[in-house]
Chains A and B, each alone.
Chain A
Amino acid sequence: MSLPYHDTKPQGAADFYFAINATFRFLEGRLGRAGWVRYLQDMGRGYFAPVNDAWRVGGLPAVAAYWRAFFEAEPGGEVEIHEREDEVEIEVRRCPAIAHLRVGGREIVPFYCTHCYHLGEARAAAAGLTMRLEGGAGSCRHRYFKPSAGEAPQRLEAIREVASC
């Protein structure tokens, strides 16, 4: 399994990034940053459970296959997946979400890019993995790997805030 759900069209509609950004703004405004993080973690463990299960069974090759299929189905990204023995690195040279929000003239929530960490780490943990993120605001680097005692925790300061224009 690469993607758990299938549509009749090859790529999603880019305007849905507007809704993702607006949803983050609403949730943070109503529930605070901690409530928004809880939403992402619940989604990571709940909605994404079929993917997490596939990652747990298939290990890092399944992680790489998922992200390859994921970005093929996203409109407007420029991404390279590096599959190594001990980690999968997702090198996002042009984030399709940030690019479309900017083209659309949207006010992007400054913490937008941290959703990839909160969601990604919840999913990785459910699969017996961990993830780290650095960069943001249009280009970034995600790494998925098996947790080890010596690994430094994620520094949220390593994730850049987003400016709208």
Chain B
Amino acid sequence: MLGTYDFCGYYEWTFDWLEREGGQQLLLDYWVESISNDSQRHARELIFRDGFAGMLEYWGHTLAEESPDLGYTITHRPDEVVRFDMQDCPSKGFLIRNGLEQHHDYCDHCVGWIGPMLEDAGFTLDHAHNHRAQCWWEIRRATDLTPASAPGELYAQDARLLPGWSADGATIDTWVRSTDPLGKTSQ
């Protein structure tokens, strides 16, 4: 039986299996069709119906369930922007702690399913992750041209200000006003 306790372990293994089986397109299709449209349809329903309030409700529940130690924070400016900072992502953190790495970039799966959902709901995304269980997200309406905040501007414990954010040659993948799973630049 497949269980939930080590879900992230075989989820990550599955990314590699799919890419070997059908190339990158099969994996991208999986994130959209299977995760975004099917598994996480409750997120879609909430965010399509309630917008920013739906995001706060969805991620407030799911992150509390996945990370009861609160390795994350959610901040927002009402009706303007929702921001997440992951100081210790429960999902990538599980993989790092257990030495699991089959796929070349596990963290891409988040934009892989969240990006298309936000685009369909009329939102856009600024996001970066450092592959060390740390990332940040800012979600605004697609019609809002406000750029991403400067480090610390919206939240004092901004992930970008963490001591390990860019230390020791960490590769940081960044999306700027993009919901495209392939829309990142790496630095």
Interfacial residues, chain A to chain B (CB-CB below 8 A): 3-9, 11-23, 25-26, 30-31, 35, 39, 42-43, 46-47, 70, 73-75, 96-97, 104, 115-116, 119-120
Q: Which residues of A contact B2 (CB under 8 A)?
A: 20, 97, 115, 119
Contact B34–A23 (Cβ < 8 Å): yes
Contact B17–A26 (Cβ < 8 Å): no
14 other contacts beyond A4-B98, A7-B5, with CB at 8 A cut-off? A9-B90, A12-B3, A12-B4, A13-B4, A15-B65, A21-B39, A22-B38, A26-B34, A30-B22, A35-B21, A39-B14, A43-B13, A74-B3, A119-B2
Q: Which residues of A contact B90 (CB under 8 A)?
A: 7-9
How far is A26 from B39 in the complex, measured between Cα atoms in Å? 10
**Any chain A CB within 8 A of the CB of B69?**
yes
Q: In residues 24-75 of chain B, which contact A (Cβ within 8 Å)?
A: 26, 29-30, 33-35, 38-40, 42, 62, 65-69
Contact A3–B6 (Cβ < 8 Å): yes
What is the total of A-B residue contacts with beta carbons within 8 Å? 107
Q: Which residues of B contact A19 (CB under 8 A)?
A: 7, 11, 34-35, 39-40
A-B complex: 10 closest residue pairs judged by Cβ atoms: A12-B4, A26-B34, A22-B39, A22-B38, A73-B5, A12-B5, A16-B4, A16-B7, A19-B39, A5-B98
Q: Which residues of B contact A120 (CB under 8 A)?
A: 1
How far is A5 from B11 in the complex, measured between Cα atoms in Å? 14
The contact of A47 among B4, B9, B39, B69, by CB within 8 Å, is B9
Q: Which residues of A contact B30 (CB under 8 A)?
A: 23, 26
The contact of A30 among B11, B26, B67, by CB within 8 Å, is B26
How far is A19 from B46 in the complex, measured between Cα atoms in Å? 18
Q: Which residues of A contact B93 (CB under 8 A)?
A: 8
Contact A31–B21 (Cβ < 8 Å): yes
How far is A116 from B2 in the complex, measured between Cα atoms in Å? 7
How far is A6 from B3 in the complex, measured between Cα atoms in Å? 13
Q: Which residues of B contact A16 (CB under 8 A)?
A: 4, 7
Q: Which residues of A contact B7 (CB under 8 A)?
A: 12-13, 16, 19-20
Q: In residues 138-176 of chain B, which contact A (Cβ within 8 Å)?
A: none
Contact B35–A74 (Cβ < 8 Å): no
How far is A31 from B29 in the complex, measured between Cα atoms in Å? 13
